[in-house]
Amino acid sequence: MGSSKKRKLIRYFLLTFWVLVFGWQFYQMNAQGFNKSEILSSNQNIVFSDTDEYISFVPKVDSTMISLLFFPGALVQPDAYAPLLKDLAMRGYSTYIQKIPFRIAITDNMEDKALNKAYSKINSSSDKKWIIVGHSRGGRMAANYAAKYSQTLSGMILLGTSHPKEKDLTQIDIPVLKLSASEDGLASPSEISQFAKNLPVNTNFVMIDGGNHSQFGYYGFQFGSGKATLTLEEQQKIIQREIVNFLNKR
């Protein structure tokens, strides 16, 4: 076999290998670990909706006049955050998970379109207060939204993300909650510390001892997520508690 043919076979093998790895990882990022028929539905208190653009949980009685718009992590199925956001809706907060085409904004243009869509959603709403939320790469999108449109927000929540890395948000005049996990291999404590300087001085930093990256949502294995010493349910309870504490002050 000639060297040229060998190189072609090697390239073909590597391409096939990485396509299979990507496909497997994409599958792992699907929502799991909760009763979908129970969570992804309306009840006596909540109106559930699933459109091409948003998954939403809206209280029938708006007792808080506060809404949350959530950006999912890269490749994570938006449904993976439904248990958390439905729980918040049960407490009186309207919650919206924005769907990103292909589950990731690969280019700056794709991200700008997503941020503009979020702006239109927030700007056209009658709710008095909006909180922008993001997990992992969704945290980057939340931070970039705040950099452009902080005047539309009453707060920002960043979950399991090292962002903002490139943006200086020290001058934005909104409260910020940054929830991180001690065993997170994708947004490590050292990175959280390194980029803390890019957030306002009133940012509340909370480290979940024993938590990891993927347990900020309900989905499967993720490369680099880290090995948690907390259960998924334990980590989610801490996340819910900290977010509710933050929202109660708004």
Q: Where are the alpha helices (DSSP H) in 29-97?
A: 36-39, 82-90
Kindly give the pairing relationship between strand 54-59 and strand 46-50: antiparallel
Q: Determine how β-strand 155-159 pairs with β-strand 94-98.
A: unpaired
Instruction: Report pLDDT for 53.
Output: 97
From start to end of 40-108, where are the E strands?
46-50, 54-59, 66-71, 94-98
The CA distances from residue 148 to 80, 113, 127, 158, 224, in Å, are 27, 13, 20, 16, 30
pLDDT digits (tens, 9 = 90+) for 184-204: 999 999 999 999 999 999 999
pLDDT digits (tens, 9 = 90+) for 20-51: 555 655 666 899 999 999 999 999 999 999 99
| Phi–psi pair at 49, nearest 5 degrees | -140, 140
C-alpha dihedral over 195, 250, 231, 158, to 10 degrees?
-30
Domains and CATH numbers, the chain: 31-248 (3.40.50.1820)
At 126, is the pLDDT very low, low, confident or very high (cuts 50, 70, 90)?
confident
The predicted model scores a pTM of 0.91
State how far the Cα of 216 lies from the Cα of 46, in Å rounded to an integer.
23
Residue 62: per-residue pLDDT: 86
What single letter denotes the amino acid at residue 186? L
